[in-house]
């Protein structure tokens, strides 16, 4: 057994340990970079932060990691917070800010996992819960953060101004970063984006850059106002075409340009007081980001529902098709049972009469010959009486097999009842039918049936279609008369019965 901590073929404890270590390290690095950006690039006069990205990174990490792995992520966040804050704030303030941020992220992660597990942003319900939890957690954390500002930093800004700016700043950071991280890490790489929509994605990014820079490059002295609402179609386009990850990516891109422009006193959202500018900017970005995120989740949920219904419909079609085939097979089997004699495999009397009428009608229309052979087993009753009905059935089966093997594909063979059989020969005249009947008689006489030592012979009557006025009843009647004559003359022979002459029919 390999000792704990060593590498094994399946990527064992050491590999899992590396994974658990890389996650917190990556989160700490992201937290630090986000904090540096929040403290330096995204701060205005009096230390007012426009948005706070680190909490969005930490919250995404907590939502992706099991709860048992949370402590390393929290320690990495504390270290990153202290490293980023020390150039600007005291150690006590940095520890206080770290405690507030950890409280906010832990509360948000715990609530989201309690109400939705697993938590994903591809459902509108989860997006709504995300917004509510975000408002609650960042609002409570803002009370603590505003208290640290008010008690430790000399300023003329009121507690409630600090509170609302902290509240919206943390909410904005989480709203812009957490959906982006979850969208890419939970769903994995998008082949659809790579193969089908790469050009569209590139066009969307380029248009977002150009239009956002154009709208927020104006100065207060510009005569032509550029309205910020012109940017709203861009994240909505991303939401429709690329889902949550597309909407979050475009929203973050817009936010970066907008904040950079506002920090340089450019754009249509500048107000007289810095605090008013921050609030106006935060509200604008919050509406833009959340609306596109909600639309993306709604569309993804609708697509998932449609795909599920499509799969169910396909499964239903497959089941209906399979059931239809089963019913067709059952119906075919029922038709066979209704038209075939179960013992010999020959057609039964009803099915033969249906086929015979059709063949006679065709022969009359096309002027073709047609004949019938009626066969009857000689002394069949004595065979049943001497050797039993099972032996009699074996005789019937052997006779039917001999006839089946001799006939052509278009010939019709049926059991009329008991030991009597009928053969219809479309396209063959009386002489050909006589030859066929004689061949069948000889072949049957050569059969040796197991369980029946008696020699099996048949008598046969043959009749051919001679006049257009004849039907199947007339043809069978004459064949039956020929059979009767063969029986009367000593059995084991073939006799033909011809119809009346045309003159006799005319006189009649």
Is there a single domain that holds both residue 356 and residue 304?
no
Do the domain assignments include residue 343? no
Do the domain assignments include residue 319? no
Question: Catalytic residues, which ones?
Answer: 419
Do the domain assignments include residue 299? yes
Is there a single domain that holds both residue 160 and residue 250?
yes
**Confidence band of 9 (pLDDT split at 50, 70, 90):** very low
Q: What is residue 117's predicted lDDT score, i.e. its pLDDT?
A: 75
Quick check: 426 and 407 in contact, CB under 8 A? no
**Confidence band of 4 (pLDDT split at 50, 70, 90):** very low
CA separation for the pair 244, 247 (Å, rounded) = 5
Q: What is residue 145's predicted lDDT score, i.e. its pLDDT?
A: 87
DSSP letters of 406-453? HS-TT-EEEEEETTEEEEEEET--HHHHHHHHHHHHHHHHT--BTTB-
- Decide which of 314, 340, 369 is a domain's last residue: 314
Q: Is the pLDDT of residue 374 over 60?
A: yes
Is there a single domain that holds both residue 370 and residue 269?
no
Q: How far is CA 7 from CA 12, 19, 22, in A?
A: 6, 13, 17
- Decide which of 292, 314, 336 is a domain's last residue: 314
Of residues 184 and 109, more confidence is placed in 109
Task: Name the pairing type of β-strands 412-417 and 458-464.
Answer: unpaired
For the domain that residue 384 is a member of, what is the CATH number?
Answer: 3.30.70.270
Is there a single domain that holds both residue 229 and residue 294?
yes
- What is the DSSP secondary structure assignment for residue 46, as one 8-state letter? G
Do the domain assignments include residue 478? yes
Quick check: 67 and 114 in contact, CB under 8 A? no
CA separation for the pair 458, 490 (Å, rounded) = 11
Residues 301-351 pLDDT 10s: 888 888 899 999 999 999 999 998 888 888 777 776 678 888 898 999 988
- Decide which of 293, 314, 335 is a domain's last residue: 314
Do the domain assignments include residue 341? no
**Confidence band of 16 (pLDDT split at 50, 70, 90):** low
Q: What is residue 14's predicted lDDT score, i.e. its pLDDT?
A: 47
Q: How many domains does the chain have?
A: 2
Is there a single domain that holds both residue 169 and residue 234?
yes
Please state whether 188 falls in left (phi above 0), alpha (psi between -120 and 50) or beta.
left
Do the domain assignments include residue 344? no
Is there a single domain that holds both residue 291 and residue 378?
no
Is there a single domain that holds both residue 136 and residue 89?
yes
Interhelix angle 159-187/233-263, nearest 10 degrees: 130
Among 25-29, 188-192, 199-203, 436-440, the least confident range: 188-192
Do the domain assignments include residue 410? yes
Q: What is residue 196's predicted lDDT score, i.e. its pLDDT?
A: 61
Is there a single domain that holds both residue 357 and residue 267?
no
Is there a single domain that holds both residue 147 and residue 223?
yes
**What is the Cα Rg of the chain in Å?**
47
Residues 109-165 pLDDT 10s: 999 988 887 888 888 888 999 999 999 999 999 999 888 877 877 766 678 878 888
Domain region containing 233: 19-314
CA separation for the pair 264, 274 (Å, rounded) = 12
Residues 228-243 pLDDT 10s: 888 999 999 999 999 8
Q: Is the pLDDT of residue 362 over 50?
A: yes
Is there a single domain that holds both residue 305 and residue 358?
no
Residues 458-479 pLDDT 10s: 999 999 998 888 899 999 999 9
Q: What is residue 102's predicted lDDT score, i.e. its pLDDT?
A: 95
Is there a single domain that holds both residue 228 and residue 361?
no
Do the domain assignments include residue 336? no
**Confidence band of 192 (pLDDT split at 50, 70, 90):** very low
Task: Indicate the pTM of the whole model.
Answer: 0.61
**Confidence band of 19 (pLDDT split at 50, 70, 90):** low
Is there a single domain that holds both residue 471 and residue 400?
yes
Quick check: 267 and 261 in contact, CB under 8 A? yes
């Amino acid at each position: 057994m390999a000792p704990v901590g060593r590498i094994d073929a399946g990527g064992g404890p050491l590999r899992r340990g590396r994974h658990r270590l890389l996650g917190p390290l990556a989160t700490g690095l992201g937290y630090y970079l986000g904090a540096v950006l929040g403290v330096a690039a995204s701060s205005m006069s009096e230390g007012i932060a426009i948005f706070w990205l680190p909490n969005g990174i930490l919250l995404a990490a907590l939502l992706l990691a099991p709860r048992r792995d949370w402590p390393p992520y929290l320690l990495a966040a504390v270290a990153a917070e202290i490293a980023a804050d020390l150039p600007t704030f005291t150690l006590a303030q940095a520890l206080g800010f770290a405690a507030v941020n950890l409280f906010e992220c832990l509360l948000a992660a715990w609530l989201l996992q309690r109400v939705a597990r697993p938590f994903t942003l591809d459902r509108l319900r989860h997006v709504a819960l995300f917004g509510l939890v975000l408002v609650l957690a960042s609002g409570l954390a803002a009370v603590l953060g505003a208290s640290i500002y008010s008690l430790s930093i000399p300023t003329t800004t009121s507690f409630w101004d600090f509170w609302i700016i902290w509240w919206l700043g943390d909410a904005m950071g989480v709203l812009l970063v957490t959906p982006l991280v979850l969208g890419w890490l939970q769903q994995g790489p998008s082949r659809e984006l790579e193969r089908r929509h790469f050009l569209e994605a590139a066009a969307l990014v380029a248009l977002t850059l150009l239009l956002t820079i154009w709208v927020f490059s104006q100065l207060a002295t510009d005569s032509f106002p550029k309205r910020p609402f012109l940017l709203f179609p861009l994240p909505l386009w991303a939401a429709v075409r690329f889902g949550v990850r597309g909407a979050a990516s475009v929203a973050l891109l817009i936010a970066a340009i907008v904040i950079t422009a506002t920090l340089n006193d450019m754009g249509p959202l500048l107000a007289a007081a810095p605090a008013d500018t921050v609030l106006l900017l935060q509200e604008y970005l919050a509406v833009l980001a959340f609306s596109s995120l909600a639309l993306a989740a709604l569309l993804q949920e609708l697509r998932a529902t449609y795909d599920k219904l499509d799969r169910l419909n396909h499964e239903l079609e497959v089941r209906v098709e399979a059931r239809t085939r089963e019913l067709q097979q059952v119906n075919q089997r029922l038709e066979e049972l209704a038209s075939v004699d179960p013992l010999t495999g020959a057609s039964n009397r009803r099915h033969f009469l249906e086929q015979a009428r059709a063949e006679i009608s065709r022969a009359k229309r096309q002027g073709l010959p047609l004949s019938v052979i009626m066969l009857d087993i000689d002394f069949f009753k004595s065979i049943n009486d001497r050797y039993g009905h099972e032996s009699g059935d074996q005789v019937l089966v052997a006779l039917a097999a001999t006839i089946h093997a001799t006939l052509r594909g278009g010939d019709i063979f049926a059991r009329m009842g008991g030991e009597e059989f009928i053969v219809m020969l479309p396209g063959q005249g009386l002489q050909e039918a006589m030859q066929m009947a004689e061949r069948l008689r000889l072949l049957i006489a050569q059969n040796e049936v197991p369980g029946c030592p008696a020699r099996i012979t048949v008598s046969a009557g043959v009749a051919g279609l001679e006049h257009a006025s004849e039907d199947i009843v007339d043809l069978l009647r004459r064949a039956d008369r020929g059979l009767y004559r063969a029986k009367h003359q000593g059995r084991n022979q073939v006799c033909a019965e011809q119809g009346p002459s045309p003159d006799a029919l005319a006189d009649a």
